Amino acid sequence: MYSNLTNNKKAIIFYAVTLTLAIAVALMAPVIGDMVRIVSMLTPLAAVLIMLLVVTRDGYSRAGWADLGLHRLGRKAWAFALLAPLPVLLFSYGVVWSTGVARLALPPPSSSSLVVSVLSFLINLVLSLVISVFLGLGEEVGWRGYLLPRLVPLGPLQAMLLTGLLQGFFHLPLILLTPFYHGDGNRLIVIPLFLLTLTLAGIIYGYLRLTTDSVWPAALMHSAFNTYWAYLLTFTVAVSPQANEYLAGESGLLTILGITVAIIWLKFRLPDKFRLGSQPS
């Protein structure tokens, strides 16, 4: 339909379509309940399909699909993508457990042996990760697969930050229009913390995308974060739900601190062209 759009126009149209779909899905919450979170995660993928098959029609060529970064697995980054979220979340929840904001509540011991219990836990964790990867891919095909490459002419690191911020705003319909996402705490506090978390995380997700030319590592990290977070939530009983929301999890100050440490570590690994302040070539 519009084969000659600039990257900026493609990015704007993609985001407008995605945000419109996100609002529409959030308004369906009274009907579909908690499923609204899963459906919402798939709206960036739906927007990509609309862009490729209807708006620009790039999807009728192999190059159009290859541009999403699905054709490369980026296996060298898988270990980092799967493991990096764990110390960040363990740090944030460890602090709230140790300070009394929340308490660790492990499931009661089963009649099975310790080895069987551990194996059962690991199998369930792996299955959860596998399922979560496909949901995470639903978002990441949009954010890091489609949007980020079109913002790179602004400067790679600037594009990473902007993509993360836009991803954060995409979640606001869920936060503001439904009770199913970040329901604890004052929205005036939770939303800025949440946006900061997603903006900073955008650097790490973007680093994985741009250095591997693959969307899979970003999808794996996104899925790993969500899975570990879900498990830690089940092991946590909040003495103060509001304080727990402000400190740990996806909108917590401690999580932001952990992500910042990871970014500082990455800074020494970033090629010069990805450094803050670099200008488009």
Does 278 score more than 50 pLDDT? no
- With respect to residue 202, please indicate whether it lies within any of the assigned structural domains: yes
pLDDT level of residue 276 (50, 70, 90 thresholds): very low
* Average pLDDT of the residues in 60-88: 90
Helix, strand, coil percentages in the chain from 3-state DSSP, rounded to 5: 75, 0, 20
* Tokens 């011991």 sit on residue: 109
Q: How far apart are CA 273 and CA 155, in angstroms?
A: 8
**Secondary structure of 211-269 as H, E, C letters:** HHCCCHHHHHHHHHHHHHHHHHHHCEEECCHHHHHHHCHHHCHHHHHHHHHHHHHHHCC
- With respect to residue 48, please indicate whether it lies within any of the assigned structural domains: no
pLDDT level of residue 270 (50, 70, 90 thresholds): low
* The pLDDT value given to residue 272: 54
- With respect to residue 165, please indicate whether it lies within any of the assigned structural domains: yes
Average of per-residue pLDDT values in the chain: 88
Q: How far apart are CA 243 and CA 49, in angstroms?
A: 40
More confident call, 46 vs 244: 46
- With respect to residue 146, please indicate whether it lies within any of the assigned structural domains: yes
Q: Which of 14-28, 57-71, 107-121 is predicted least confidently?
A: 107-121
More confident call, 258 vs 269: 258
- With respect to residue 160, please indicate whether it lies within any of the assigned structural domains: yes
Does 269 score more than 80 pLDDT? no
pLDDT tens digits, residue range 133-153?
888 899 999 999 999 999 999
How many domains in the chain?
1
* The pLDDT value given to residue 277: 40
Q: Which of 74-83, 193-202, 238-247 is predicted least confidently?
A: 238-247
* The pLDDT value given to residue 169: 96
**Secondary structure of 46-105 as H, E, C letters:** HHHHHHHHHHCCHHHCHHHHHCCCCCCCCHHHHHHHHHCHHHHHHHHHHHHHHHCCEEEC
- With respect to residue 161, please indicate whether it lies within any of the assigned structural domains: yes
pLDDT level of residue 91 (50, 70, 90 thresholds): very high
* The pLDDT value given to residue 112: 64
Q: How far apart are CA 44 and CA 19, in angstroms?
A: 9
**Cβ partners under 8 Å of residue 134, min gap 6:** none
Q: How far apart are CA 216 and CA 140, in angstroms?
A: 8
Q: Which of 53-67, 77-91, 108-122, 161-175 is predicted least confidently?
A: 108-122
* Tokens 């739906």 sit on residue: 46
Task: Tell me the residue range of the domain where 256 lies.
Answer: 72-274
* Average pLDDT of the residues in 202-221: 94
* Helix, strand counts (H, E) of the chain: 15, 2
Q: Choose among 200, 219, 232: nearest CA to 77.
A: 219
Share of the chain above pLDDT 90, in %: 59
**CA of 252: how far to CAs of 51, 77, 80, 130, 174, in Å?**
34, 26, 22, 26, 18
Does 210 score more than 80 pLDDT? yes
- With respect to residue 41, please indicate whether it lies within any of the assigned structural domains: no
* Average pLDDT of the residues in 231-236: 88
* Average pLDDT of the residues in 51-78: 89
pLDDT level of residue 279 (50, 70, 90 thresholds): very low
- With respect to residue 80, please indicate whether it lies within any of the assigned structural domains: yes
**CA of 102: how far to CAs of 20, 21, 96, 235, in Å?**
37, 36, 6, 10
Reduced to 3 states (helix: H, G, I; strand: E, B; else coil), residue 157 is helix
